[in-house]
Amino acid sequence: MTNGNRTDGATGTALQLRTTVTKDGTIELSLAEVPIPQPEADEVVVRVEAAPINPSDLGLLFGPADMSTARASGTAERPVITADIPQNLMRIVAGRVGESMPAGNEGAGVVVKAGSSPEAQSLVGKTVGIIGGGMYAQYRALKAKQCLVLPEGTTAVEGAACFVNPLTALGFVETMRLEGHTALVHTAAASNLGQMLQKICLADGVELVNVVRKPEQEELLRGIGATHVCNSSSNSFMEDLIQALVDTGATLAFDAIGGGTLGSKILTAMEAAATATAKEYSRYGSTTFKQLYIYGGLDRGPTELNRGFGFSWSIGGWLLTPFLQKIGFEAAQKLRERVAAEVKTTFASAYAKEISLAEALQLDAIAVYSKQATGEKYLIRPNQGL
């Protein structure tokens, strides 16, 4: 279960996943052997037991590489993956060329060593949720105050994804309130995040229109209490969606897909719902303000807008970190506390597979988890399987 090169809380070396964009236009992933970090006074060292591969991790892991060109080298224990980056996309990653970067936004583990501060010392032996990058590693040092202590009886696997998805789902509902909307639309809605959002909306009495692609995803969401589920593969999708928008009055959507026409369809359906109840014709469309936020890029192709939704609309990017900065530490802390309290219920995640760091750099594993398909989420266990 442990790596021969180190012992808990001691010195030695440990593994860390690295990703590098080379100047000749490839991305290279490998495992680096790095010294086990030693804590500063206000820091702790966490033995990372579990770290999910979220869609938000893939941008750093693979950049804009064409993963159909990915090839393996190295050994089973020290695999190396190389993939080509299309020339016209190198501009996007110009800032990271030649830099070997750790990856993994969040995870959970056990505090095995602590600095001298009382806050740090109080965490020794505790299982904590952690965020801040570099979690695809056996050990991670970070500020004691960055750790979210998980409730007694919570495992690291259960707490591995207690930041990104939970805070994003809570952030959607907070954004709705802050920006004066009263109901929500969410795409890729059967994801772990989508299920959390449905549970939050049920608890908070917020109406949610779920958009999915498959009948089994419809069933899954109805099984956890969803009222409005629209299947974008259905022939009646637009009518179903318009009806759900008339029923709920949702004028705010969060879209994980990004590419294609789905976002445009949602705005068009919102406009149709608004004009269905409007009293007077306006050549510029309804005066109902419609907001679409793109928070992911499951489809990396271009976004296509038909603009058949008047002039009162906005589309923007939505990211968790700027949102948390905007609401401020205290408001964000309240959200974090809610996550800790409901980590086994509202914010429970499910994984298709647990893999080691070396397994994360196998072509067959990458082929699955890089697709970001709903129900195919992988969990890295950095201190297992080596």
Q: And the tokens for 57?
A: 């991790």
Nearer to its own copies, 159 or 297 (CB): 297
Q: Which of residues 209-238 bind its own copies (CB under 8 A)?
A: none
**157 near its own copies (CB under 8 A):** no
Nearer to its own copies, 221 or 256 (CB): 256
User: By rule CB under 8 A, what count of residues binds its own copies?
Assistant: 44
Q: And the tokens for 43?
A: 């820091």
The closest of 178, 185, 218, 206 to 295, measured between CA atoms, is: 185
The phi and psi torsions of 124 (rounded to 5 degrees) equal -60, 130
Helix (H, G, I), strand (E, B) or coil at 140: strand
* Of the candidate residues 223, 283, 328, 330, the single one contacting its own copies (CB under 8 A): 283
**182 near its own copies (CB under 8 A):** no
CA distance linking residue 40 with residue 295, whole number of Å:
35
Q: How far is the CB of 111 from its own copies (least distance, A)?
A: 27
Segment lying near its own copies (by CB under 8 A), choices 114-122, 161-169, 275-283, 356-364? 275-283
Cβ neighbours around 24 below 10 Å, total: 9
The set of residues, in sequence order, having a beta carbon less than 8 Å from that of 49 and lying 6+ positions away, is: 107, 108, 109, 110, 127, 155, 156, 157, 160, 381, 382, 383, 384
Nearer to its own copies, 319 or 363 (CB): 319
Q: Which residue has the tokens 């893999």?
A: 355
Question: Contact at 8 Å (CB) between 100 and 117?
Answer: no
The closest of 322, 167, 189, 352 to 256, measured between CA atoms, is: 189
What's the one-letter identity of residue 155? T
Helix (H, G, I), strand (E, B) or coil at 102: strand
Q: Which residue has the tokens 């680096």?
A: 32
How many residues does this entry show for the chain? 386
Question: Contact at 8 Å (CB) between 346 and 196?
Answer: yes
Nearer to its own copies, 20 or 154 (CB): 20
Nearer to its own copies, 69 or 314 (CB): 314
Element (H, E) at 82: strand 79-84
Helix (H, G, I), strand (E, B) or coil at 366: helix
**317 near its own copies (CB under 8 A):** yes
Q: How far is the CB of 19 from its own copies (least distance, A)?
A: 10
Q: How far is the CB of 95 from its own copies (least distance, A)?
A: 3
* Of the candidate residues 3, 264, 356, 372, the single one contacting its own copies (CB under 8 A): 264
CA distance linking residue 269 with residue 162, whole number of Å:
33
* Of the candidate residues 1, 75, 284, 328, the single one contacting its own copies (CB under 8 A): 284
Segment lying near its own copies (by CB under 8 A), choices 109-117, 144-152, 297-305, 332-340? 297-305
Q: Which of residues 52-81 bind its own copies (CB under 8 A)?
A: 59-60
Question: Contact at 8 Å (CB) between 241 and 264?
Answer: no
What mask, x for binding its own copies by CB under 8 A, covers residues 81 to 110? Answer: --------x-xxxxxx--x-----------
Q: How far is the CB of 53 from its own copies (least distance, A)?
A: 15
Q: How far is the CB of 364 from its own copies (least distance, A)?
A: 25
**302 near its own copies (CB under 8 A):** yes
| Region label for 252, one of left (φ > 0), alpha (ψ between -120 and 50) or beta (otherwise) | beta
Nearer to its own copies, 61 or 70 (CB): 61
* Of the candidate residues 308, 326, 341, 352, the single one contacting its own copies (CB under 8 A): 308
* Of the candidate residues 281, 328, 330, 364, the single one contacting its own copies (CB under 8 A): 281
Q: How far is the CB of 301 from its own copies (least distance, A)?
A: 9
**318 near its own copies (CB under 8 A):** yes
Footprint on this chain of its own copies (rule: CB under 8 A): 59-60, 89, 91-96, 99, 258-259, 264, 272, 275, 278, 280-285, 287, 294-295, 297, 302-308, 310-319, 322
